[in-house]
Structure 1
Amino acid sequence: MASSRLRIYVFLFVIHYFALTIAQLELQYHECYINNGNYITNSTYEANLNRLLNSLTENPRINYGFYNVSYGQNPDKVYAIALCRPDMEPSSCSDCINVARKNLTSLCPNKVTAIGGYDDRGYNNCMLRYANYDIFGLMENAPYFFVYAESNITENLIEFNQTRQRLLERLFSEAAARPSPNKYATGKEAVSDIVTMYALVQCTPDLSEADCKECLHDTTKLMSKCCDRRQGGRVINPSCSFRYETNKFFKPSIAGPPGSPDPVTPEPPPRKKNHTILITVIVSVVASVILITGICIFLRVRKLKLEDENVEETIAKSLQFDFETIRVATDNFSDANKLGQGGFGAVYKGMLLNGETIAVKRLSKNSKQGEIEFKNEVLLLARLQHRNLVRLLGFCLERKERILVYEFVPNASLDHFIFGMFTLLYSLE
């Protein structure tokens, strides 16, 4: 009896631990749409937004992982869409969206439009977006985000690319043709005798067949930016996404709520003693399996976290410039090379030793941001890609200096450097 009680306590502890871990996850991608404006604190729009987001997870089975709701009256009406990967359990989908809504409003305070979500290489995958305009049935392919595997294809590259193209084309057509709310498709195809490719594609179910197919084809145009020669990759935008890997990363999808169970013919009751023994054995076996599974999941999550930290450290080192290189490139930050001055510091034109022309943003020294926070934001900037944003080449963090190095675009407005993506991050302070 004591042993059974101990197993139950351990099981409840494991479940509670993982619930807290999920609740503390930060969004793995987000965009605050800084050009779409802000709402005023304690305004009608803020009250409508909070009311709408709080209602998202009241019914975890609504539309099988797809939520599209609106609240309020114009001009303070709010629209929201939430979407989970189709193989998520309804309760997990609800939990994921609940965490996303809390983190997104914190990361994008007072923004009328925002998008964010999770893609943690496991089954915790969801996307949430809200706006002050009607987004239902509207196909939007920007902003976009991508994730890719660290391992490259070392052989049979042509066969690999051809297989990926065939598989994705087939799944694009299948997903687009499926009726709402199930606009997704999964599949696999052999690359060689020992390598199999798996893929999952998905559209928001409110899209038409034509818009879904167009959106998915648009994502493949970004393949060269994220996934060339990679063993796996994923591209995400507000209306659709695709993912492929050489390992099976999805499980059988949840098509809808379970139906009524088949009728069972009653059996004669067993003897009381045998019945008690059977229940004890079943409970013990189930509790043991759950405990072992929980431990395995914990060890797997910890391993992936350590791997991600090592990858981020490598990326940070590859982006870092030394101060002397930047000083020489800008002729000691001479006024002749100064392009302008903004609220966060001055911008200079410079030239590296390899002849590449750069724009150097020297941030004010009165910033209260620490070294770790600065590096984390630089890593995020380096991953963000958008046609309207100037590309970040690297940074410098020496002698109490905080310097950003951008590609120099001759015909671009100076605002791209002074009020560019970095303003988005610092506006959150």
Structure 2
Amino acid sequence: MFKALMKLLLLVLVLSLFGPIVESQQPTYLSHACLNATTFAINSTYEANRDVLLLSLSSNGSRPSGFHNTTVGKSPDMVYGLFLCRGDLSISVCRACVTFAATDISRRCPVDTKAVVWYEECLLRYSDRNIFSVVTEAPTFLTYNSTQNVTQPERFNLLAGVLMNETARAANELTDGKRFMNGEVSISALQKLYTLAQCTPDLSVTDCDQCLQRAKGYLPTGRLGGRFLNPSCNFRLEMYPFYNLPSAVAAPEESKQNKSSQIPVLVASLSAISGLVLVSALGFLIWRRRNNQDKENCEEIQLLDLVNEHTGETLSGENVGKSQEFPSFRLDTLHAATNHFSDDNKLGQGGFGPVYKGTLANGEEIAVKRLSRTSGQGLVEFKNEIMLIARLQHRNLVKLLGCCLEKNEKLLVYEFMPNGSLDVFLFDSSFAAQLDWQKRFGIIKGIARGIMYLHEDSRLKIIHRDLKASNVLLDHRMNPKISDFGMARIFGEDKNDAITNRVVGTYGYMAPEYAMRGLFSIKSDVFSFGVLLLEIISGRKNNSSHFAENGESLLTFAWKLWSEGEGMDLIDQLLVGSCVASEVLKCIHIGLLCVQGYPTDRPTMSSVVIMLASDTISLPRPAEPTFPARRSEHASNDGVFSINEVTISNLLPR
């Protein structure tokens, strides 16, 4: 009973601190326009540039301003594009709308050089002409909600006119990066009128005012609402609340009443929340102390509960509503699959324990990780692996198939990667010849997409912290899959970096700020990716003895060659006959951008994906890379080649 109460208090604390999580949904379509005065040819340069631009807009959907504009390509095939999200919506809703729109617009307007699409949540447009900081008043989208007249039309029209003017003025005067405002006014004891006005933030004050004044003129008077949209601004008038924020503009006679009535409610709410958080925190501390006294038994129970939550099965295999998403495996099934975990089937040894190859009765090959009793990673990490990896679904991440908890065994089951890990092919001369340039370029792009998913597109914002060649597995087609989330950390949407006193990872791949000060962020992963990219091109380890003897690193060696115009001298000699020089030099350039000393100078992974996909984007000049002067005492050695080595992940802050 006591434990149940403490869990309830802890849940209340978490909910009070972080609020509800809302799953993104498909945006509500309103209208679109394909301005096909001119069209482009299939497989043309313009089409390629447009596709890259749409990818770029999609990858920037998380901007706090809800607005982004960019160009791709060079004249005459340059494409201009932008998106604008409704100013009251969350970053996640904005991102979902932009991501959907970037695909939807090319379906609705497949060969048009100009197009715009509107949704309830956002608009997205592109053109072959400059559309930035220019008022565009056509095409327009206008709807009236009803032809029914309101009661007291004179009062309605007067208040509607005042409210629309005030909302437009307030939106135009904002300096917070958004040109958005909503407002409300009472038109009777039982009815209120609501408005919303918004411009694209790139417009000048004069141009925004011009656009909104024109929009106001189209809206109906004496009717129950309507909306006006064009590519530069929008205005909406309704008899019901349709936005998420509290009203920002109110009738003067209501302002004092609203403020005085809200203060006691706010104070009472804060007092209640503070008391609840305090009680919950004290309850959690008591619960944790008692929990530690009986840690083994409690963790075992939690694990059983967790597996049953995910699988809907008991460990004996009885089906009680089985989930197809994350199944439980019977121990006897895994014994049979691995020949009782024989040494002949052993693939490798990780921090978690040994990894075995197995074959199920249906012929499917699997990799089974077995928690060692002497492992430094235990039940909590095992639980976190289930909670984290089971939620990650991407073609460039290794897939967790299920788990097993029987007779003191703790096993994780993964898809089997027949070609092992990337380090085997890069750094073993007997295998390296199997990776020609096209395979290596495909591996580079696949790794970039996987890390971008972790940082920006998954339900969780994940920092891997140990990206290296031995943690990239290769399937039967040499497609890369990122593995080993034992060092991973999860960030909230509003958090970008953290500091740890326990620096873990592999020397040579660590960003300078992480190795020396324990500061890590998504840019730490970007640095590791840059090192890995240069290793893939050169076939050399960054921390190899060759570079150590010469007092440099692969990074400084690559920089010296590139800055002297001799970048092609960096490549693995096995690639000379198959490489495309322009692609190699672009990859070296991107790698050097990723390993710059200051995190703010490094690109995001979404930008890296775009740069890899485009042949026309101009890349900035990188600064000379720096690397840690000493090895962190906590850093692990990059040991022997690993095969299907996948360890566990930590969801909890360290």
TM-score, length of structure 1 as denominator length: 0.52
Q: Is 2:201 the partner of 1:205?
A: yes
* Residue correspondence of structure 1 range 167-182 to structure 2 within 5 A: 167-179=163-175, 181-182=177-178
- Cα 1:153–1:51, aligned 2, differ >3 Å: closer, same or farther? same
- Kindly indicate whether residue 190 of structure 2 is the aligned counterpart of residue 194 of structure 1: yes
How many residues are matched?
243
Displacement, 1:191? Answer: 1.2
Alignment match of 2:230 (pick from 234, 237, 241):
237
For 1:234 and 1:62, locate their aligned partners in 2 and report how far apart those are by CA, in whole Å.
26
How many angstroms apart in 2 are the aligned matches of 1:100 and 1:171? Answer: 28
TM superposition shift of 1:59: 3.6
Query: What displacement does 1:231 show?
Result: 1.1
CA distance in 1, matches of 2:286, 2:149: 60
Deviation at 1:65, TM superposition (A): 0.9
Decide which of 138, 141, 145 is 2:141's aligned counterpart.
Answer: 145
Q: Deviations over 1:29-85 (max 9, x none)?
A: 0111122x0111111110000001012122432242101111111111101110010
Equivalent of residue 165 in structure 1, options 161, 166, 170: 161
CA distance in structure 2 between the aligned counterparts of 1:112 and 1:63, rounded to whole angstroms: 29
Q: Which residue of 1 aligns with 2:341?
A: none
Equivalence for 1:71: 72
Map 1:323-402; keep pairs closer than 5 Å: none
> Structure 1 CA distance, aligned partners of 2:176 and 2:140?
23
Contact 1:196/1:246 (8 A) holds in 2: yes
Q: Secondary structure at the match of 1:244?
A: strand
Q: How far apart are the structure 2 equivalents of 1:188 and 1:93?
A: 24
Match of 1:252 among 239, 245, 266: 245
Q: Shift in Å at residue 200 of structure 1? A: 0.9
- 1:55 equivalent in alignment to 2:56: yes
The list of structure 1 runs, each at least 4 consecutive aligned residues, that deviate by more than 3 angstroms after superposition, is 264-268, 271-276
Q: What residue identity is the alignment partner of 1:214?
A: Q
The verdict on how the C-alpha distance between 1:192 and 1:49 changes in structure 2, with shifts beyond 3 A counting, is same
Q: Which residue of 2 aligns with 1:339?
A: none
1:180-210 residue CA offsets vs partner (Å, 9 max, x unmatched):
5211111111212222111110000000001
> Residues 192 and 110 (structure 1 numbering): CA distance in 2 closer, same or farther, change over 3 Å?
same
- SS of the residue corresponding to residue 86 of structure 1 reads coil
**Equivalent residues in 2 for 1:282-361, closer than 5 Å:** none
Retained in 1: the 8 A contact 2:85–2:123?
A: yes
Cα distance in structure 2, aligned partners of 1:73 and 1:180: 32
**What does residue 337 of structure 1 align with?**
none
1:33 — aligned with what? 35
CA distance in 1, matches of 2:31, 2:181: 23
Deviation at 1:140, TM superposition (A): 1.0
Matched with 1:269 is 285
8 A contact 1:180–1:205 mirrored in 2: no
**In 2: Cα distance, 1:167 partner to 1:132 partner:** 37
CA contact (8 A) 1:69 1:81 kept: yes
Q: Is the 8 A contact 1:115 1:238 kept in 2?
A: yes
**Structure 1 residue ranges without an equivalent (≥5):** 5-14, 120-124, 254-263, 284-429
Q: How far, CA to CA, are the matches of 1:118 and 1:252 in structure 2?
A: 19
Q: Within 2, Cα distance between the matches of 1:193 and 1:113?
A: 47
State the distance in 2 between where 1:213 and 1:250 align: 22
Greater C-alpha Rg: 2
Match in the other structure for 1:222:
218
Equivalent residues of 1:113, 1:130 under 8 A apart: yes
Contact 2:137 2:231 in 1 (8 A): yes
Seen in structure 2, the aligned counterparts of structure 1 residues 180 and 210 have a Cα distance that, compared at 3 Å, is farther
1:266-323 C-alpha deviation (Å, 9 max, x unpaired): 86821349879xx9xxx9xxxxxxxxxxxxxxxxxxxxxxxxxxxxxxxxxxxxxxxx
Distance, in Å, in 2 between the alignment partners of 1:168 and 1:160 is 12
Q: 1:141 to 1:269 in 2, by over 3 A?
A: same
What is the alpha-carbon distance in structure 2 between the residues aligned to residue 52 and residue 76 of structure 1? 12
What CA distance in whole angstroms lies between the structure 1 residues aligned with 2:240 and 2:290? 45
Q: Name the aligned partner's letter for residue 158 of structure 2.
A: Q
- Give the SS at the match of 2:139: coil
2:190 is the alignment partner of 1:185 = no
Equivalent residues of 2:101, 2:124 under 8 A apart: yes
**1:180 touches 1:206 (CA, 8 Å); kept in 2?**
no
Identity of aligned residues (%): 32
- One-letter code of the match for 2:180? Y
Tell me by how many angstroms 1:150 deviates: 3.1
Output the CA distance in 2 between the equivalents of 1:112 and 1:60. Answer: 22
Range with greater deviation from structure 2 (145-154 or 196-205) = 145-154
Opposite residue 127 of structure 1, the aligned amino acid is L
Q: Tell which deviates more after alignment, 185-194 or 73-82.
A: 185-194
**Residue deviations 1:190-242 (CA, integer Å, cap 9, x gap):** 2122221111100000000010000001112222xxx3432111100010011
Structure 2 unaligned regions, length at least 5: 1-6, 8-20, 247-276, 292-297, 307-654
User: Contact conserved, 2:150 with 2:223, CA < 8 A, in 1?
Assistant: no
